[in-house]
Structure formats: C-alpha cells, structure tokens
C-alpha cells in the first residue's frame, strides 16, 4: 500500500502540482490523509526535489538547440521551459530565457516585437503541398472550421480529434 502511495506521489509531483494540491488529491480521490509537512518528508525520501537538482547548462543548451532546429524555432522561452519540464530536465526559467537570447537573438527579437516568422515551402510543382489550417476564432462557441488555402472543406462542431480532420481531408481528395 505504501508503494502505491509512493507511485501516486511521484506521478503527481512530476505533473508539476503544488504540494497543497497533491495533499488535496490524495485525500479526496485516494483516501490518504497527509499534511503538507508529511508530503515534503515523503518526497525528500523518494529523492524528489523542486529546485535542488538542476540540469547542467550544457544539457539545457543542447536541448534548446535541438528544439530550435525543428518546430521549436517559433516558440518562446516559456514553451521551451515547459518542454524541458515534460522531458524531466529541471532548469530555471530565467536560465532558459538567457540561453535562448544567446542562441537565437534574431528569433528572440522577432518574438519580442510580435512579428511572426512565416513558414517556407519548397514545392516541386502546383498542388504538390497542401497547407492545412483551422479557423479558431469561433471555437469558444463550439464551431470549428477547417480548410486548405482556396476553399473550406470541413465545417462542424468538433476538430479536436485527428480522426475527424483526416476523414475530412480524405473525403476532399
């Protein structure tokens, strides 16, 4: 039973929940009554710390560079910080911000001025690449519009599942 509780603690901690939230969830959903101090003691016993074990700066820089080679080039330091947390790399947000400004000064300046970096396509001919886009302005009202440049091919009340989008695309082709 203690192992199950330990796994729950570890999972909720790695999700990034605060100590009070973990205590509340354990009490109300799982029936384990813990104080905040007990929780901290159990986390330390399991070698789970928020700020103690920070990643090496070279590891953080390597991850930033690898993300900026792909789709991460358009994202800012908050997204990059969250990406690192998801991968289990513990770094300070300020450290990530400074490294991104050093590694990509032009991108940092564009994001600061709110200028979008447009996608570039190299196509072998007409109709070789299709760019798929969604119109999210009406999404709070439950209306989703999907389309390709030139025409709208899907209009409905959902677009959250990839299956719906793929079915619409196959029907269009």
pLDDT tens for the chain, 173 residues: list them.
468 888 888 888 888 788 899 999 999 999 989 898 999 899 888 888 777 767 888 999 998 999 888 777 788 889 998 888 878 788 889 999 999 999 989 888 888 888 877 766 677 877 676 666 666 666 666 666 666 555 545 555 555 566 666 666 666 66
Q: Which helix (H) or strand (E) holds 134?
A: strand 133-135
Residues 75 and 77: their CA atoms lie apart, in Å, by 7
What is the structure's pLDDT at 169?
Answer: 62
Could you identify the residue written with the tokens 């209009």?
155
Phi first, then psi, for residue 150 (nearest 5°) are 115, -35
**Closest listed residue to residue 97, CA positions, set 76, 124, 120:** 76
What is the structure's pLDDT at 156?
Answer: 53
């Amino acid at each position: 039973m203690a192992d199950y509780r330990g796994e729950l603690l570890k999972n909720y901690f790695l999700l990034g929940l605060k100590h009070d939230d973990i205590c509340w969830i354990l009490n109300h959903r799982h029936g384990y009554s813990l104080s905040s101090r007990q929780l901290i003691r159990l986390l330390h016993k399991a070698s789970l710390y928020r700020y103690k074990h920070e990643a090496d700066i070279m590891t953080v820089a390597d991850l930033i560079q690898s993300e900026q080679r792909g789709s991460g080039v358009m994202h800012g330091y908050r997204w990059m910080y969250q990406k690192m947390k998801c991968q289990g790399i513990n770094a300070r947000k300020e450290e990530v911000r400074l490294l991104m400004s050093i590694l990509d000064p032009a991108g940092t300046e564009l994001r600061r001025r709110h200028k979008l970096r447009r996608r570039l396509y190299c196509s072998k001919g007409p109709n070789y690449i299709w760019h798929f886009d969604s119109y999210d302005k009406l999404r709070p009202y439950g209306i989703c519009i999907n389309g390709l440049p030139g025409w709208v091919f899907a209009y409905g009340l959902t677009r959250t599942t990839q299956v719906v989008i793929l079915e619409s695309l196959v029907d269009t082709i």
